[in-house]
Amino acid sequence: MTIEEVKNCIRDVYDFPVPGIVFKDLTTAFKNPSCMKFFEETMYDLYKDKGITKVIGIESRGFIMAPILGNKMGVGFVPIRKKGKLPAETIEVGYAKEYGIDIIQLHKDALVPDDVVLIHDDLLATGGTMQAAFELVKMFGVKKIYANFLVELDFLNGRQKFDSDVDVQSLIHY
């Protein structure tokens, strides 16, 4: 499967979640086994030799591919969740969104300084959520952090929010 074929499986939803937005709906790609295989194999090829010890998925669509990749790599999966969703002791980071403040959390025992972490989410738009996730993971003093997306909306310049030492990879660009 090619990038163009995968792009053809991603649905545009106009005026969602608010008027003027064209939402890239990956659920139409997720239901296609060829797209899922493409995502899994392409991400695995990008990270198989990076020494990753944990794959982190950001709630909620990051929970689709992150555990699949972690399983294929033989490493653990760690969820980053919205405030109040994790049952044990957590650390948290707040960040501004277009329409308010959001807070994400990780369990205090989720990572150790020896970890090499891949943070995954489905789509990079403005970069606020991933930047907050990156700041949260940095609190653990891990060795290295990678960031990965299935789709990046280049025109929103979300990638510019990251330090130059963060390896940011996206499979599909719009």
Residue 169 located in a structural domain = yes
Residue 40 located in a structural domain = no
Backbone angles phi, psi at 90, to 5 degrees: -130, 165
Contact 152, 131 (CB under 8 A): no
- Report pLDDT digits (tens) over 137-169: 999 999 999 999 999 999 999 999 998 888 999
CATH at 144: 3.40.50.2020
**Is 98 assigned a catalytic role?**
yes
Total number of domains in the chain: 1
- Report pLDDT digits (tens) over 73-122: 999 999 999 999 999 999 999 998 766 789 999 999 999 999 999 999 99
Residue 10 located in a structural domain = no
pLDDT at 135 over 70: yes
3-state secondary structure of 54: strand
The range of the structural domain enclosing residue 165 comes to 50-173
Model confidence, pTM: 0.95
Give the chain's radius of gyration (CA, Å).
Answer: 16
Amino acid present at 165: D
Catalytic entry in 59, 61, 92, 159: 61
Catalytic entry in 5, 11, 41, 98: 98
- Report pLDDT digits (tens) over 29-68: 999 999 999 999 999 999 999 999 999 999 999 999 999 9
**Is 135 assigned a catalytic role?**
no
* Alpha carbons 32 and 12: distance in angstroms, whole number: 16
pLDDT score recorded for residue 22:
95
- For residue 41, what are the contacts with CB-CB under 8 A and spacing of at least 6? none
Residue 61 located in a structural domain = yes
Residue 8 located in a structural domain = no
Residue 92 located in a structural domain = yes
Residue 13 located in a structural domain = no
Backbone angles phi, psi at 140, to 5 degrees: -85, -10
Residue 155 located in a structural domain = yes
